[in-house]
């Protein structure tokens, strides 16, 4: 396998470091040669060389969809990237349950929902529902978890009230709808509400979705953020391990106060 220069990483298509990329986008132009040339010039202004418009499809009216090939002249120094990551030791279903039993000795309570106007439950269902996702069980199947899935379009106030009612250890929020950054506004309101209710120190706040990163989650005031590809065990392991770390920190503080 060829050695990759991590200080100068570029895309590749046919051969390493050739910079070849494929772009797909739409323009508000009627299908025709002018639209095709506009797409080519736009890709060149993005910084791509050797641009070819390999596909153009009429979307009806003044709209055309394009697939463009080009050569990227830029590179990234991966050695200088420092990305916040969720600190968790990966465990499987059985290891997580054994860990909770041995380290906590009690069930973990989780409440989850798609909040605001979001009606897409595919993400939260993958993590919570008993059937799970990608061959893994959801949290409802874990004997050491008590999971409540409130479903879609749940007001933040209802989610927080349910968390208080159940004495939840963690609140999970899935945000699929992100147009005009509505997910950011909604997640910010949830954090504000949790703080206003005085339970921020009592619960883990976790969010997930296609445009969620751990870095964004931290910026918004959450404890963790999980993006695409997250499995139920990833979330379960994080919650269990973080609760144990939290108990250790509390115990250490009480010892110092004595």
Does residue 55 register a pLDDT over 90? yes
pLDDT score recorded for residue 256: 76
> Across all residues in the chain, what is the average pLDDT?
94
Write the CB contacts of 250 (distance below 8 Å, at least 6 apart in sequence). Answer: none
pLDDT value, residue 180: 86
- Name all domains of the chain by residue range, CATH numbers in brackets: 20-78 (3.30.30.60), 93-257 (3.40.50.280)
Confidence band of 199 (pLDDT split at 50, 70, 90): very high
Range in 79-88, 102-111, 135-144, 207-216 with the lowest mean pLDDT? 79-88
DSSP state of 65: E
For 14-24, the pLDDT digits (tens) are: 889 899 999 99
pLDDT recorded at residue 20: 96
pLDDT tens digits for range 131-172: 988 999 999 999 999 999 999 999 999 999 999 999 999 999
Residue where the block lists tokens 């997250």: 230
Tens of pLDDT, residues 24-44: 999 999 999 999 999 999 999
List beta partners, residue 206.
172, 224
* Cα atoms in the 13 Å half-sphere on the side-chain side of 12: 10
DSSP 8-state code for residue 210? T
Helix axes 156-166, 182-196, angle to 10 degrees: 40
For the four alpha carbons of 187, 188, 191 and 197, in that order, the dihedral sign comes to: negative
- pLDDT band of 92, cuts 50, 70, 90: very high
- Choice among 3, 131, 180, 246 that is catalytic: 131
pLDDT at residue 1, as a whole number: 67
| Rounded to 5°, angle at Cα 216 from 220 and 12 | 170
For residue 51, CA distances in Å to 21, 28, 43, 112 come to: 10, 20, 7, 46
Per-residue confidence (pLDDT) for residue 118, from 0 to 100:
87
Residue-level pLDDT at 57: 96
Q: Is the pLDDT of residue 9 over 90?
A: yes
Q: What distance separates the 2 farthest-apart alpha carbons in the chain?
A: 79
Known catalytic residue at 180 = no
Please give the pLDDT value at position 2.
Answer: 75
């Amino acid at each position: 396998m060829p050695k990759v220069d991590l200080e100068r990483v570029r895309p590749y298509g046919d051969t390493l470091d050739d910079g070849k990329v494929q772009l797909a986008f739409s323009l508000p132009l009627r299908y025709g040669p002018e639209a095709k040339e506009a797409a080519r010039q736009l890709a060149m202004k993005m910084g791509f060389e050797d641009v070819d418009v390999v596909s153009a499809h009429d979307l009806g009216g003044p709209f055309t969809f394009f697939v463009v090939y080009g050569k990227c002249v830029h590179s990234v120094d991966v050695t200088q990237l420092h990305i916040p990551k969720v600190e968790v030791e990966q465990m499987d279903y059985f290891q997580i349950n054994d860990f909770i039993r041995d380290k906590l000795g009690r069930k973990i309570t989780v409440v989850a929902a798609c909040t605001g106007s979001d009606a897409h439950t595919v993400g939260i269902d993958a993590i919570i529902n008993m059937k799970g996702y990608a061959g893994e069980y959801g949290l409802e199947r874990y004997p050491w978890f008590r999971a409540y899935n409130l479903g879609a379009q749940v007001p933040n106030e209802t989610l927080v009230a349910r968390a208080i009612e159940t004495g939840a250890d963690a609140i999970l929020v899935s945000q699929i709808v992100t147009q005009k950054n509505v997910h950011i506004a909604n997640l910010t309101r949830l954090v504000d509400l949790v703080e206003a209710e005085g339970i921020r120190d009592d619960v883990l706040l976790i969010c997930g979705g296609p445009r969620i990163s751990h870095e964004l989650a931290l910026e918004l005031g959450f404890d963790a953020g999980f993006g695409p590809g997250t499995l139920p065990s990833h979330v379960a392991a994080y919650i269990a391990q973080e609760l144990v770390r939290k108990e250790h920190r509390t115990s250490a503080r009480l010892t110092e106060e004595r």
